[in-house]
Amino acid sequence: MATSGRSDLHGLLLRACERAGVELINDARVVSYENTGRGAGVTLASGEVHEAGLVLAADGLHSAARKLLVDDEPVSSAYVAYRGTVPAEQPRVQGLDLSEVVVHVGPKCHFVHYGLRGGELLNQVAVFESPRAVAGEEDWGTPDELDHAFAGTCDFVQEGLPFMWREKWWRMFDRDPIMNWVHGRIALLGDSAHPPLQYIAQGAIMAIEDGWVLGEHVARNRAADGTVDWDAALFAYEAVRPEHCRRVLTTSRAWGELWHLNGVAREQRNALLRARDTYDYAFVDWLYGPTALTVDEEPPMFTPVPLSSGGR
How buried is residue 173: exposed, middle or buried, by Cβ count under 10 Å (0-12/13-18/19+)? middle
Spatial distance between the Cα atoms of 262 and 63, rounded to a whole number of angstroms: 35
Spatial distance between the Cα atoms of 165 and 312, rounded to a whole number of angstroms: 28
Residue 64, CA distances (Å) to 43, 70, 72 in order? 11, 11, 11
Residue 182 in contact with residue 231, Cβ under 8 Å? no
Radius of gyration of the chain (CA): 22
Report which secondary-structure segment, H or E, holds 36. strand 30-36
Catalytic residue, from 33, 79, 82, 114: name it: 114
Which long-range contacts link 95-104 to residues 24+ away (Cβ below 8 Å)?
96/122, 98/122, 101/1, 101/3, 103/259, 104/153, 104/154, 104/156, 104/157
Spatial distance between the Cα atoms of 276 and 279, rounded to a whole number of angstroms: 8
Spatial distance between the Cα atoms of 258 and 304, rounded to a whole number of angstroms: 12
Residue 75 sits at φ, ψ, to 5 deg, of -105, 120
Spatial distance between the Cα atoms of 210 and 217, rounded to a whole number of angstroms: 11
- Torsion of Cα atoms, 171 then 174 then 175 then 181, to 10°: 120
- Reply yes or no on whether 281 is catalytic: no
Active-site annotation, residues? 114
